[in-house]
Amino acid sequence: MGEKMLKSTYKIFAGFLVGALVVGGIANATTSEPAGIKVCVDKKSQAIFLAPANGCSSARTGLTIGAPSIDVKSVAALVTPSVVSIKVTSIAGSGSGSGSIYKTDGAASFIITNNHVIETAVSSGTIVVELLNGDTIPAQIVGRDIAYDLAVLKIARGNLPTVTVGDSSKISVGEQVVAIGSPLGLASTVTSGIISALNRPVTTGSIGSESFVNAIQTDAAINPGNSGGALLDSRGRIIGVNSAIATLSSGGASGSIGLGFSIPINEAKRVIDELIATGKSTRPVLGIFFDTTFVGIGAKILRLSPGEGAEKAGIPAGSVIKSIGGVRISDQVAAIVKIRSYAPGASVEVSVELPGGGQKSFTVTLGSAPSN
């Protein structure tokens, strides 16, 4: 499937389920220790302690924080035990993906991944999770959300190391990141790069079952099989769920070209917590229908949903949305993606070009609806 670019909106290939693997002189140099604070992170509790002079114990992982460049080796050692491989077998075929251990207790653990990784096994089939030590454990689907391309699995194995959740609202373009997953079935693969862009409107999936992502764009190498894996900041905290790549191929699985996309963890966490608590999730509602024939810049409102946020705020039908929450809106997909980055009940500033001319901003309280 070829990629289609419409204004600032990208149709991204997300078929990460199936992957194939084709298989002088020495100069002296001085080295120096990276700047920053050396700490020890407990492998079970993730508590952080200042590192003693003789280094960290076997129960803790050494990490340097506050350094000018990311310590990939330390981040990998800290987080790799919390990232798993996922193998799916169904009537539609077999495939693989990745996941992160999100919560654990004495008896079971919850794992976050992408919906597209496990969706072929929803009706029939098997899902198996492979831990870092090679143990394979059957998994069951707790819940999934097609619109956000997220799913939660549960395995009957407790007291596993979990990922530490970061804050995706505090990341910046140019910040160094690490991706961990199982591209092409190669478990515990670590790559690094930077955040290339934020608030990138990305859609994946077929018509009628699209996923809309207000994505983090990264050049850290992400390949088929990385889906559902972790995008991490310099302290080893998960800031995104790797979900899609752009591809130049006309079909099939393609390798990384430096355009990978992750679901911001702040957006994902709300959905994940709802799925764990109830098996279902919700999405925010602006309360409008878009004019799909509109070809200008922005998202034109065809009509309003009675009683919903946009009508209550006084936005007139025929208006063209120009920005949401201060972020420029280029088309209706960008508007959908930005709205879905908020939680139901949030107050959002929507700036529109009025039907009669002129621009006006409205504060809209978003409604709530079951997510698909």
Asked if 293 and 347 sit in the same domain, the reply is yes
Asked if 110 and 176 sit in the same domain, the reply is no
The separation between CA 313 and the C-alpha centre of its own chain, rounded to angstroms, equals 31
Asked if 230 and 298 sit in the same domain, the reply is no
| Residue 28, in any domain of the structure | no
Domain membership of residue 62 as a residue range: 37-80
Q: Can you say whether the dihedral through the CA atoms of 38, 240, 332, 252 is positive or negative?
A: positive
DSSP 8-state code for residue 13: B
Active site (catalytic) residues? 116, 149, 227
Per the structure, the count of domains in the chain is 4
| Residue 272, in any domain of the structure | no
DSSP string over 199-252: EEEEEES-TTS-EEEEEEEE-S---TT-TT-EEE-TTSEEEEEEEEE---SSSS
Indicate which CATH number applies to the domain containing 359. 2.30.42.10
Asked if 76 and 88 sit in the same domain, the reply is no
Indicate which CATH number applies to the domain containing 262. 2.40.10.10
pLDDT computed for residue 91 by the predictor: 86
Residue holding tokens 């515990």? Answer: 188
- Of the three residues 129, 155, 181, the one that is the final residue of a domain is 155
Q: Whose CA is closest to 121, among 85, 92, 148?
A: 92
Q: Whose CA is closest to 100, among 85, 117, 83?
A: 83
Local confidence pLDDT in tens for the 372 residues of the chain: 232 333 334 444 443 333 322 222 223 333 334 456 778 888 777 777 888 888 888 888 777 665 556 788 889 989 999 999 999 998 877 888 999 999 999 999 999 999 999 999 998 889 999 999 999 999 999 999 999 999 999 999 999 999 999 999 999 999 999 999 988 888 889 999 999 999 888 887 666 667 888 899 999 988 888 999 999 999 899 999 999 887 665 555 556 677 899 999 999 999 999 999 999 999 999 999 999 999 999 999 999 999 999 999 999 999 999 999 999 999 999 999 999 999 999 999 999 999 999 999 999 999 999 987
